[in-house]
């Protein structure tokens, strides 16, 4: 009855005080080489009852008034234990407010096993809030386990804890380097496949490849051999550029603010779109692609941030991630380039290239305003909606190339002298 009383009181008064159903806590774990990082997200209404504190319904005020006390409370209710029964060390880090419609408090922890104990096998003891509020639950998930191929993009649920289940056995000892490498490869593929801005940048670079520059405008067809040579050079330069900064960034040797990197990426896409419209850096595409690749690599490196890996594992991570990026880039080029080269021999290519460059330029300008100035981006949903139908866009491109080639075969443009 003593344990039910707080729950009954919460039902009586918290509904008006916080105005939402009782949510669960969230416990997110990330396994590193020699420690586990944990992140607790605690709903403040339930925390008030579980902690038996008259907390205000304001996450910022809670952190300001009770931040240090909350660290002690959390430390007392997190008890990881090694397989041989020795306790882990728990260090409580940052306490931060989560200011949303349903405010929470987020607490960061670092759990370190005793000497000689494995980092991937433990009994996780936890009973914050539900040691008093028996209706409360804590969902425990894993968002980082390299050797088992678990990343934040694909977290796994380890279990749900409550007053009758205050321990959770965690055994992640079955992983290996190949599983982690394969996960990094998939992460690289997905990063490009879901990164509409990177895909538009790549397409903006290859749009003018089959054409000859005539002054400040794109002229006739340059020929298959010239188009392929340019594509290989541009993609290779971009790969070299982003590989350099990917390695440098993953090693922690160079870091720039995310907003600055993302704004620079948007700007690089815009410039590439303008070049697809008019040849503003004709003959220097390789250097431009390499330079922009350096910027894009810093964004790729941010994806690998926080893994906490040893040098060998970090090398496998960077290699797998980069190979995934290259594999998808090559797939995009192989899927689109033949049809663009075929279309470049017809009169259809001019309007198609212009439409593609204008669309890319508008999207890039909107991304830049959003990332640099935090302005609303009304174009973003439209761009993402179009990108979601990438397969059908490719089918349309193929159909257009076949139809234009068939109807205009008597007017096919012969290769001009390439510049």
Q: What is the DSSP string of 317-341?
A: HHHHHHHHHHHHHHHHHHHHHHHHH
Where helices occur in 194-310 by DSSP H, the ranges are 196-206, 224-250, 258-277, 285-303
pLDDT value for 414 = 52
pLDDT score for 281: 82
Please give the pLDDT value at position 317: 85
Cβ atoms within 10 Å of 56's Cβ, excluding its own? 15
Tell me, what's the pLDDT at 269?
93
Kindly list the averaged pLDDT for each block of 10 residues, start to end, along the chain of length 419. 43 43 87 93 94 91 94 96 97 93 91 96 97 94 92 90 96 90 91 87 89 86 86 87 85 82 92 93 84 85 67 82 90 91 90 94 95 91 89 93 75 50
Distance CA 359, CA 255 (A): 31
380, with CB counted inside 10 A (0-12, 13-18, 19+), is middle
Residue 161: strand pairing partners: 138
Give dist(CA 205, CA 234) in Å, integer.
Answer: 8
Question: Taking a C-beta distance cutoff of 8 angstroms, is the pair 33, 180 a contact?
Answer: no
| 195-199, long-range: CB < 8 A, 24+ apart | 196/363, 196/383, 196/384, 196/387, 197/265, 197/266, 197/269, 197/363, 197/364, 197/367, 198/265, 198/296, 199/332, 199/387, 199/390
Cα-based distances in Å from 60 to 54, 124, 234: 15, 29, 49
Closest among 85, 272, 49 to 167, alpha carbons compared: 85
Q: Is 1 helix (H, G, I), strand (E, B) or coil?
A: coil
Buried b (16+ CB within 10 A) or exposed e, 207-232: bbbbbbbeeeebebbbbbebbbebbe
Which residues face 315 on adjacent strands? none
- Give me the DSSP letters along 68-121: HHHHHHHHHTEEEE-TTSPBPEEEEEEEEEE-SSS-EEEEEEEEEPPTT--SSE
Q: Is 99 exposed, middle or buried (0-12, 13-18, 19+ CB in 10 A)?
A: exposed
Structure tokens at 391: 């397969």
Q: Nearest to residue 119, comparing CAs of 179, 170, 160?
A: 170
- Integer Cα distance of 151 and 304 in angstroms: 10
Confidence (pLDDT) at 335: 93
SS3 of residue 19 by DSSP? coil
Spatial separation of the C-alpha atoms in residues 410 and 340, rounded to whole Å: 18
Exposure class string for 344-363: b at 16+ Cβ within 10 A, else e: bbbebbeebbeebbebbbeb
Give the largest CA-CA distance in the chain.
90
């Amino acid at each position: 009855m003593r344990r039910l009383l707080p729950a009954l009181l919460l039902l009586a008064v918290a509904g008006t005080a916080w105005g939402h159903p009782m949510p669960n806590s969230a416990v997110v774990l990330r396994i590193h080489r020699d420690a586990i990082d944990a992140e607790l997200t605690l709903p403040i209404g339930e925390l008030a009852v579980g902690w038996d504190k008259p907390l205000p319904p304001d996450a910022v005020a809670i952190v300001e008034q009770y931040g240090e006390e909350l660290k002690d409370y959390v430390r007392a209710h997190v008890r990881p234990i090694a397989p041989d029964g020795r306790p882990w060390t728990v260090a409580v880090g940052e306490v931060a407010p989560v200011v949303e419609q349903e405010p929470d408090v987020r607490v960061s922890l670092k759990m370190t096993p005793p000497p000689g104990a494995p980092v991937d096998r433990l009994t996780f003891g936890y009973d914050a809030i539900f040691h008093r509020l028996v209706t409360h639950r804590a969902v425990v998930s894993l968002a980082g386990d390299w050797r088992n191929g678990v990343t934040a993009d694909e977290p796994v649920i380890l279990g749900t804890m409550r007053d009758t289940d205050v321990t959770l056995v965690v055994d992640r000892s079955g992983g290996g380097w190949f599983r982690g490498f394969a996960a990094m490869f998939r992460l690289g593929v997905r990063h490009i496949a879901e990164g509409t801005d990177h895909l538009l940048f790549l397409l903006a670079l290859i749009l003018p490849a089959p054409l000859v520059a005539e002054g400040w405008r794109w002229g006739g067809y340059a020929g298959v051999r010239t188009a392929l040579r340019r594509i290989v050079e541009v993609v290779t330069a971009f790969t070299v550029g982003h590989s350099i900064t990917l390695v440098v960034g993953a090693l922690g040797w160079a870091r720039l603010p995310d907003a600055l990197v993302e704004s620079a990426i948007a700007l690089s896409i815009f410039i590439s779109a303008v070049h697809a419209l008019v040849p503003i850096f004709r003959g220097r595409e390789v250097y431009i692609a390499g330079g922009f690749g350096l910027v894009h690599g810093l964004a790729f490196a941010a994806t690998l941030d926080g893994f906490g890996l040893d040098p060998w594992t970090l090398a496998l991570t960077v290699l797998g991630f980069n190979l995934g990026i290259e594999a998808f880039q090559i797939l995009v080029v192989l899927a689109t380039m033949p049809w663009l080269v075929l279309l470049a021999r017809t009169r259809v290519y001019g309007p198609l290239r212009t439409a593609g460059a204008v669309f890319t330029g508008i999207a890039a300008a909107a991304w830049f305003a959003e990332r640099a100035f935090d302005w609303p981006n009304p174009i973003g949903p439209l761009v993402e909606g179009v990108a979601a139908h990438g397969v059908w866009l490719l089918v349309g491109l193929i159909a257009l190339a076949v139809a234009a080639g068939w109807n205009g075969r008597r007017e096919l443009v012969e290769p001009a002298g390439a510049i």
